[in-house]
Amino acid sequence: MKFRIPLSIVLAATLAIPTLLIAAPPRPKLPDTFDVAAIDAYLTGYMQQPDRVGLSVAIVKDGEIVLQKGHGKRSLADGRPVEKDTLFAIGSVSKQFTCAALLLLAEDGKLSVNDPVAKYYPQLTRAKDITLLDLMNHVSGYPDYYPLDFLDRRMLAPIIRG
């Protein structure tokens, strides 16, 4: 029995091989120690990888900003660079980081997730009635906050309470 390679596979391999031979920039090495210049070089190299858009970074050590810089592009379409003060639409991504930070602080005994919000923000409405854990679990009763640059069509309809 004679084995034949389908023409589609031969064509796909022929088209893919030149792409594979064009070397992508080498992946940067992650620094082994806290070295601001090495971290900056790592981020610069990382952002040169194909299809990377951009990021803004700030590193604070001992209460001082030791690195504040933009890397990459704001958009692949227009190619403008990210600057240290470029604004990004982050949506709800920060909620997970905030909760993780609170849990680390609780683990270190610096706060309790059962602390009332008033301990940290006494001027906030109903702060005495709500705990940090309530905020983390989204059961505080505070309404959602929607940024002005995004409006879901469902939010245009009036809320009917009955």
Residues forming the active site: 92, 95
- Name every residue whose Cβ is closer than 8 Å to that of residue 107 and which is 6 or more positions away in sequence: none
Structure tokens at 20: 């594979």
Q: Which of 48, 54, 38, 117 is nearest to 89 (CA)?
A: 54
Beta bridge partners of 11: none
Rg value, the chain, Cα: 25
